[in-house]
Structure 1
Amino acid sequence: MEADRSPLNWWRRKSLRFRLTATASAVLALALAVAAWLLVGVLGQALIASTDKVAYQRAREVVALADDGRLSDPVPVSDGTIVQVLDSRGRISHVTLGADRLVPLVGARARESVLPDGQGRFVDGGPYGIPGPLRVVVLRADRGRTVIVARSFKDVGDSLTTTVHMLVIGTPVLLLLLGAASWLIIGRTLRPITALRRGAAEISGTARARRLPVPEARDEVHELATTLNDMLARLEAAEASQRALISDAAHELRSPLASIRLQLEVALGHPDGQEWPETAEGVLEDTLRLSRLAEGMLTLARLDERRSPARRQPVDLGELIGATAERYGDVLVKVTVARPAVVDGDAMDLGRVLVNLLDNAVRHAGSQVGVELSTEGAEAVITVTDDGPGIPEADRERVFNRFTRLDSSRSRDDGGAGLGLAIVRETVRAHGGSVHLEDASPGLRAVVRLPLSAT
């Protein structure tokens, strides 16, 4: 419970709009605080430098008058600058009107510390009856005299104080305005995402066209909506394929089941005149058909699930082709190994590919089937050729679909369920290869390409 109440978890539970607005406001607050601090600092330094410059200029003027012996008492300065001229013994000899004639604005020790550089320094004006601080510049004149020039810093300090007060009041107000603007802007920015969420919520499993609204702006949200719609299109295609598979499977299962049921009902209805061995053979044939269908569907299901070979080990395709071709006899199947080839994969799955291709070739061949192994670059090429009627070019890609059988295959009693070539393509793809059909003139040629083993 304590972990759930932590600030981090509290922050994570907030909406994206709130977190973005809070983050933007925090960054703005930090930026405004730094900007205000820099403004006050730079403005203060600029005002101090300006005051020191004026005081220094007045001090240089008084020094020039003193060195020329033209200095009068009171000192002729009319811009509010306070001037004290000290003789060599530290006594005040000349002042401006209203200035103190008894106590120097800067003590002897302080005068020694500021005389070498002529920089200004702050002095409290209270002891001299002057409100606020003073900015004082001290210069040396001829015959041991010292010129002290001071300018009131009260007006400048009041201006800085007013500026600080305005920033203290204005910065939070500006931050609130910027935060509100960020809230509105982020809300408008996230509006397409809200539309996507509502569109996704309205999509049901029975909807024909399941698409999300795509915003007009060509931004990241547009790309997200487009990508999601592409994903929905792929899901629809997969769902349609799955429904077609279920429908075709149900159709394929219904025929042998109906045949088994009919044979058993006839046999049980007329037990005396029934040839039971013949009935058993018919039921066995339909049962084997069901078994082959179930095995093919399970094989496709495993291939769809893993999308890669169950085992990866070096497989000598020459040996595998020779062992597979022996099942059909030396007369019908002619094997040619142009170059040995080794691939990485599952020998059992690759053997099933060869069996399915050879079964189709033998089923449709007129007199002979040829199997050839060669290599092209980094690929092993297996070709299975028959001299049968072939397949029209328009149907050569369609026959790789599940439960697809051409009319010539459907009319034959030994035709399969239409899963053989589908298993071939999925198995070859799982091994990183490709398969296609081409015209053999006469007959048909199946070409399988597999990547050679790197070892």
Structure 2
Amino acid sequence: MADSPLVWWRRQGLRFRLTVVAAAVLALALAISASVLLTVLDRALIGTVDDSTRQQAQTVRVQADAGTLTSPIATHDGTIVQVIDERGRITDVTYGADRLVPLLDARARAEVLRDGQATFLDGRPYAISGPLRVVVISADHGRTVIAARPIGEIQTSLGTAGRILLIGTPMLIVLLAVASWLIIGRTLRPIAALRRGAAEITHTARSRRLPVPESRDEVHSLATTLNDMLARLEEAEQRQRALVSDAAHELRSPLASIRLQLEVALGHPEGQDWPETAEGVMEDAMRLSRLAEDLLALARLDERGGVPARSEPVDLDEVVRQTVDRYGEARLTVCDPVVVRGDALDLSRVLTNLVDNAVRHTSSKVEVALTADGVLTVTDDGPGIPAQDRERVFNRFTRLDSGRSRDEGGAGLGLAIVRETVRAHGGGVHLEDASPGLRAVVRLPVVR
């Protein structure tokens, strides 16, 4: 089954379609322009003849009214003039004009006088080649002046102009089509370069970038945008690879511990304390479970692209009270009513991770405060974190030496989850010195 014209058109290349459209638009514009030009030229030339003929007729009328007409009537532009009396007889004519038959009969003269406009007349019955333009004017004593002028030269000129346009217009269209084909091809050359550059980028050449044209046009903007996208994709891939590598490294320790405990227990079952072994395996299993939950949380944050799971009003003060009530070591000092927009479960996880870190490192107390401007702080009186490490601890799988030496330490994902979640809610988080201890400060936009 043959494709429809629309389907065929859509399958053509952009260069071909642009060239055809440009040529078609030019052809239409030239056709309209030629038609308007010939029409205006025709009306202008005919109007000039009408004015000249009417002026000559007025001159003859004035002479007839004054009784100064000469026979034959003298004209200098080839105008044919007949003066007809009230009885329809021709009394005066120009040289060579018919003295017996008027150019217009009585009825035709009356119609032209009534309309006040010149009319066309075939000159062949009067031995005049070509058409005539005829004007009729009334004179005194019932006389009528008929003035006519041949317009064959005008029609010849218009025909010549039409033939020139008929030949020249297709040539202009072909010239423009060729020029458009070349210009569009040159314009699309950077896009072809982008296509070739994109085809050369593979999984083994991820760091390559697309060629950026020198011209500051739309193609330059497209190339820049695509390179930025490639940079973001490369960064995301590197982060994903780093996450997988770090996750595999973190999984090795509890899995190796579980395997070792089970191998020892199975190798010496008679002297093994099975409840103690089960507790050790359970502890490592819980570490694996917490790591899996953290990895799943980070994966969901990455999948959403920095957007919270839900966007609904959340009473942050209620979330803070419910979270702090689960910790005996934590004390709520300030809790002003605050409403933010986001996901209550994610915000609760943020506070839980911060309080867990504070309880793990505090010496005696943990203080939580929420002010009306959306600032949430969690303060402990532990050893704190050096200033040069306070930003680094927000990276994934980052643990300081003190945290690595503690069995109850996490995998270094808690603060990374906090920052990603807070950013998804349009806020920010940082650590500062509490003298003594450390203070985590979370700022969230408040719904007014």
Tell me the TM-score normalised to structure 2 length.
0.92
Deviation of 1:312 (Å): 5.6
Aligned AA (2:322)? A
Deviates more, 1:147-156 or 1:59-68: 59-68
1:116 Cα shift?
Answer: 5.2
**C-alpha distance in structure 1 between counterparts of 2:235 and 2:11, whole Å:** 36
1:408 and 2:399 are equivalent in the alignment: no
Shift of 1:129: 1.4
* Cα distance in 1 for residues equivalent to 2:330 and 2:68: 131
2:352 matches 1:365: no
Q: Assess if the C-alpha contact under 8 Å between 1:318 and 1:337 holds in 2.
A: no
Matches of 2:214 and 2:433 in 1, distance apart?
Answer: 48
The whole-number CA distance in structure 2 between the counterparts of 1:342 and 1:67 is 103
- Correspondence 1:353 to 2:365: no
Alignment of 1:45-84 (within 5 A): 45-84=43-82
Task: Determine the C-alpha separation between the residues in 2 that align with 1:288 and 1:350.
Answer: 23
> In the comparison of the two structures, how many residue pairs are matched?
447
Alignment of 1:15-164 (within 5 A): 15-115=13-113, 119-164=117-162
Identify the residue that residue 336 of structure 1 maps to in structure 2. Answer: 333
> Is the aligned partner of 1:290 residue 2:293?
no
Supply the distance in 1 between the matched residues of 2:350 and 2:435 (Cα, whole angstroms): 23
2:309 and 2:117 map into 1 onto residues whose CA distance is: 87
Q: What is the alpha-carbon distance in structure 2 between the residues aligned to residue 347 and residue 87 of structure 1?
A: 109
Task: Confirm or deny: 8 A CA contact 2:265 2:274 kept in the other structure.
Answer: yes
User: Which amino acid in 1 is paired with 2:48?
Assistant: S
Could you tell me how far apart the structure 1 residues matched to 2:12 and 2:172 are? 24
Q: Distance in 1 between matches of 2:37 and 2:145?
A: 34
Of 424, 433, 440, the match for 1:430: 424
| Aligned equivalent of 2:321 | 322
Q: What CA distance in whole angstroms lies between the structure 2 residues aligned with 1:404 and 1:310?
A: 26
Amino acid in structure 2 at the alignment position of 1:390: G
Q: Deviations over 1:206-232 (max 9, x none)?
A: 214231111111112211211111111
Residue 52 of structure 1 and its aligned partner are, at CA, apart by 1.2
> Aligned equivalents of 1:25 and 1:312: distance in 2?
53
Distance in 1 (alpha carbons) for counterparts of 2:97 and 2:312:
105
- Looking at structure 2, the residues matched to 415 and 27 of structure 1 have their Cα atoms a distance apart, in angstroms, of 73
141-150 vs 340-349, greater mean Cα deviation:
340-349
Deviation, structure 1 residue 138: 1.8
1:237 is matched with: 235
In structure 2, give the amino acid aligned to 1:180.
V
Are the structure 2 counterparts of residues 66 and 326 from structure 1 closer, same or farther at C-alpha, using a change threshold of 3 Å?
Answer: closer
Deviation at 1:84, TM superposition (A): 1.8
CA contact (8 A) 1:263 1:279 kept: yes
Instruction: Find the aligned partners of 1:53 and 1:323 in 2 and give their Cα distance.
Output: 100
> 1-side partners of 2:62 and 2:341: how far apart?
101
> CA-to-partner distance for each residue in 1:26-67, whole Å, 9 max, x for gaps?
222221121111101100001101111221222223223333
C-alpha RMSD of matched pairs (Å): 2.3
SS at 1:148 equivalent: strand
Partner AA of 1:359 in structure 2: D
Q: How far off its partner does 1:117 sit?
A: 6.4
Partner secondary structure for residue 385 of structure 1: strand
Amino acid at match of 1:178: L
Change (3 A) 1:116 1:318: closer
Match of 2:182 among 158, 181, 184: 184
Unmatched segments (≥5 aa) in structure 1: none
Q: Please report how far the alpha carbon of residue 350 of structure 1 lies from its aligned counterpart in structure 2 after TM superposition.
A: 2.6
Tell me how far apart the structure 1 counterparts of residues 206 and 320 of structure 2 sit (CA, whole Å).
47
**Does the 8 Å CA contact 1:433/1:451 hold for their aligned counterparts?**
yes
Q: What residue number does 2:439 align with?
A: 445
Structure 1 residues 319, 164: closer, same or farther in 2, change over 3 A? Answer: closer
In structure 2, what is the Cα distance between the partners aligned to 1:126 and 1:311? 92
CA contact (8 A) 1:390 1:439 kept: yes
1:365 and 1:386 in contact (8 A); partners too: yes
CA contact (8 A) 2:317 2:335 kept: no
Secondary structure of 1:370 counterpart: strand
Q: How far is the alpha carbon of 1:242 from its aligned partner?
A: 0.7
Which is worse superposed, 33-42 or 182-191?
182-191
Q: For structure 1, which segment, 437-446 or 260-269, has the greater mean C-alpha deviation from structure 2 after superposition?
A: 260-269
2:83 match: secondary structure: strand
Structure 1 length as normaliser, TM-score? 0.91
Q: How far is the alpha carbon of 1:134 from its aligned partner? A: 0.5
> Which residue of 1 is the match for residue 209 of structure 2?
211
- 1:369 CA displacement: 1.2
Q: Which deviates more from structure 2 when the two are superposed, residues 155-164 or residues 74-83?
A: 74-83
Query: Counterpart of 2:332 in 1: which secondary structure?
Result: strand
Match of 2:193 in 1: 195
Contact 1:83/1:99 (<8 A) preserved: yes
Q: What residue identity is the alignment partner of 1:321?
A: V
Tell me, in whole angstroms, the C-alpha distance in 1 between the residues paired with 2:69 and 2:341. 108
Shift of 1:271: 4.0
Cα separation, 1, equivalents of 2:445 and 2:67: 107
Percent identity of equivalent pairs: 70
1:131 counterpart SS class: coil
Within the candidate set 400, 410, 417, 2:411 is matched to 417
The change in CA–CA distance for 1:61 and 1:327 in structure 2 (over 3 A counts) is closer
**Larger displacement relative to structure 2 (42-51 or 355-364):** 355-364
Q: Which moved more, 1:320-329 or 1:418-427?
A: 320-329
